[in-house]
Amino acid sequence: MRNLLSTAGAVVASLAVATPLLGLIQPGSAQQTTTAAFPAPSSSSLPASKRGVSYHNDTAAADYDILLSARGPVGWYYTWSPRPGPPAQVFPWGFRDNVEFVPTIHGTGKLASDIADLDKLNASSTHLFSFNEPDELAANGGSQLSPQEAAAAYISSIVPLRSRFRISHPSVTGSQRGFDWLMAFHDACFKIDAKQGCPADFIVVHWYGGFDGLAGWLGQLRKWYTEAGYVAAAAASGSGGGSSSGSGSGSGRDDTNALPFWLGELGIPGAPMDANLAMMSQTLPYLDNLPWIAKYAWFGTFRPAQANNWTGVGVAFFDDEGGLTELGSTFLGGAQKGFAVGDKGRAPPTPSPTSSPTPAPTDGGGGGGGGGGQNGAGRCFVSGAAMGVGFAGVFISVYAWM
């Protein structure tokens, strides 16, 4: 069984100051390419089917009950690993086949066994995240891979999985360093496979900071991926895959068929609740109305007692008693959708004294639950942030196998 121990300590976060409409400035580096943000769409009422959550091993089962409620908007979750959360915790009142578990191949350290674990998932898992923050140190939770290492592993081990999953490119930190890594990864891919490079079906983005920085970062990545020629499978002509690529030098390609984007990590850790609420109030309608944003997950599915110096309590979806905070209520649709501030999930059912525990399904269960017995993929954050500051999502994760 896999246990994740989060370790607090004095770690310097890699900060990148977000400037409105301009991208990022990474300390010690040149300013990122100037990229205009996409215009904010009108705030119309759209289905919230894009929303998802990240799994944290110490979040109460009752909290997952309301997060993944059948009447709510959340349709997917992930654990930063290829193994779903324990079904008794994630789905205490029964599996939901319409909640997709999205596995992650975090890095290359246990590549063979991680890929083998994908066979335990059921058919509801159709997407796969690859290589989490390869530009970040392993001690801070990244996969710490050079672009050349990642390209070789991606082509040899991730691309073949497209027969089963839609696959993503590695998800870099929201920083100049992450952007530089992506460009080097692109070049390394085409040195290995001059025809196809590293095909992908969607892009995963991380952002911690204010709304203007988010819009600028999305705009910069969208522009680069479009000019590099990455297109959706239906638009790829003769490539036999989900992407094709131009020269990467600015081909001016139309972005109509560009790859869809997912946001896997999003929020303003260290900022007060009202700053996060203001950010969320701008961000949700913006993302819901952008047709090329396929999915997004907000970071904060925990209670204040689970927070630390980096996260602060301003990102928490729950109060100390398990009631929804204003932030959690807003993410789930608010009181008008049946998720008022203070509402709680149901405690897990108490087994009958005469009944035997129901074993977890071996095929992953509904929504991908139960296949791997993974205890968690929490993060320990240690640096504060203010509104308008975007940074690399630094965390420490100490993995122990038992």
Instruction: Please indicate, yes or no, if residue 351 is contained in any of the structural domains.
Output: no
What's the confidence (pLDDT) of residue 350? 84
In a domain, residue 375? The reply is no
377 belongs to a structural domain: no
Give the amino acid at 53.
Answer: V
Residue 104 lies in a domain: yes
pLDDT of residue 167: 98
| Domain contains 356 | no
What is the residue-wise DSSP string for 366-391? GGGTTSS-B-----B------TTEEE
pTM of the model: 0.76
Query: At which residue do the structure tokens 């900060």 appear?
Result: 15
3-state secondary structure of 236: coil
Domain harbouring 162, CATH code? 3.20.20.80
State how many domains the chain has. 1
Asked if residue 184 lies in contact with residue 226, where contact means CB atoms within 8 angstroms, the answer is no
Q: What is the pLDDT of residue 230?
A: 93
Distance CA 179, CA 181 (A): 5
DSSP states of 113-161: HHHHHGGGS-TT--EEEEEE-TTS-GGGTS----HHHHHHHIIIIIGGG
Q: What angle do CA 169, 54, 346 make, to 5 degrees?
A: 155
Reduce the DSSP state of residue 275 to 3 states and report it: helix
Is residue 85 in a domain?
Answer: yes
* Residues with pLDDT less than 70, the chain: 1-48, 233-256, 352-402
CA 259 from centre of chain: 16
Distance CA 347, CA 66 (A): 10
Structural domain boundaries enclosing 151? 2-346+383-401
- In residues, how long is the chain? 402
Q: Is residue 200 part of a domain?
A: yes
Q: Alpha-carbon distance 4 to 379, whole Å?
A: 9
Residue 159 domain-assigned (yes or no): yes
CA distances from 273 to 5, 268, 278, 321, 360 (A): 27, 9, 9, 17, 37
Q: Letter for the amino acid at 91?
A: F
Instruction: Look up residue 201 and give its amino acid.
Output: D
